[in-house]
Structure 1
């Protein structure tokens, strides 16, 4: 169709009110102007006027009228099929937008240092998926530094890291804590004890990963053992958690981890608490202050709820 005033093509659909299409579908369903008007809660004259105006706009007859009612013409049948599909798509789009605004549909990208079965983070993810099945949850495993870099680049919505980072361009919140435990071979001389002390660990070879709790654990070891003799040997190993524990089981050294690691038994490895360690390992959530995602807000709210259930003290956001 050509706009006579401007001489350019225009879309006919842009000139048809949505109400006219909805009333046309109602007449096609009921094959009666009277019943369609009752179903829509409008007057019969209004429906008749709209259908007539629609037919004039299209230049085709949609309905054949007679004393017994109306029936669709072939042009009307084809038009109803296409409009019905379009209205269904529009309805789906409106509902999807509403669900996205509530955080019930969409995507959430999460960065983690690792997932341990039955840990706080694994349970949080499990409950979130149960509560919000319409959210596509994307999980990326990386070091804390890599996760923060991706967060700043807009490639992640939230990152869970060890410690309480002080980042001027991000918000963070302490989510959960875990006591520190030592993992050692079940053949180690200390393996038969119920717990160890820091003095017991002096002189040990301690394996530390560059990712996960590794950097914080490294600093913690220096804090606790720097004045003890013999001094510990700290060995950095660029392996994943499973390989690290396998090395421990093979007697390459010991390592320190959050207590959640002991929830998944590893053959040949014993986990022992450190009796004189007063500070738990802290895990925090980090996100951009500009991220207004409802899906992110719902995850943070659920994490707070689980934290309160476990009696973990909160830290300022």
Structure 2
């Protein structure tokens, strides 16, 4: 899966089909105040070009939907996987960032003796989705 940025619809890059990390170097990144937010800050430090200043990261003690609402109101941008694109949030643009090779690899395994049918349905969906996109 690719990463994409959630931008307010009025943002200068909202209509772009793809943006480079350098295009987003001066943005304010909204992240959750959680271990995942700390991981996101580390990811941003690794992803932005070396000649860029440290990213402007704001930690918020709210969930993803609240962060997306803050993005829609113009308080900053949010990083997520492309799977969130169809999440139904108004006033947001979903813009892929980086090249086609800038993808997140997901790995999983299914044990036949696992009796949780919900996990089996999810695993089957993930495999079919990846096949349809030519990723496996």
Q: TM-score range by the shorter chain?
A: 0.7 to 0.9
Q: What is residue 274 of structure 1 aligned with on the other side?
A: 97
1-structure distance, mates of 2:97, 2:103: 11
Contact 1:180 1:273 (C-alpha < 8 Å) held by counterparts: yes
Aligned residue for 1:295, secondary structure, equals coil
Q: What is residue 183 of structure 1 aligned with on the other side?
A: 6
1-structure distance, mates of 2:38, 2:107: 15
Q: What is residue 64 of structure 2 aligned with on the other side?
A: 241
Alpha-carbon distance change, 286 to 214 in structure 1, aligned in 2, over 3 angstroms: farther
Instruction: With a CA cutoff of 8 Å and minimum separation of 6, indicate the structure with the bigger relative contact order.
Output: 2
List alignment gaps of at least 5 residues for structure 2. none
Judging by fraction of residues, say which structure has more helix.
1
Contact 2:30 2:77 (C-alpha < 8 Å) held by counterparts: yes
Q: What is residue 47 of structure 2 aligned with on the other side?
A: 224
TM-score of the aligned structures, taking structure 1 as reference length: 0.36
Contact 2:7 2:92 (C-alpha < 8 Å) held by counterparts: yes
Q: How does 1:119-138 map to 2 (within 5 A)?
A: none
Aligned length: 132
Alpha-carbon distance change, 264 to 307 in structure 1, aligned in 2, over 3 angstroms: closer
Q: What is residue 306 of structure 1 aligned with on the other side?
A: 125
* Structure 1 residue 240: Cα displacement: 0.9
Larger of the two Rg values belongs to structure: 1
Contact 2:22 2:49 (C-alpha < 8 Å) held by counterparts: no
Q: What is residue 100 of structure 1 aligned with on the other side?
A: none
**Aligned Cα root-mean-square deviation (Å):** 3.0
Contact 2:6 2:95 (C-alpha < 8 Å) held by counterparts: yes
Contact 1:198 1:276 (C-alpha < 8 Å) held by counterparts: no
* Structure 1 residue 261: Cα displacement: 1.6
List alignment gaps of at least 5 residues for structure 1. 1-177
* Structure 1 residue 250: Cα displacement: 1.3
TM-score of the aligned structures, taking structure 2 as reference length: 0.77
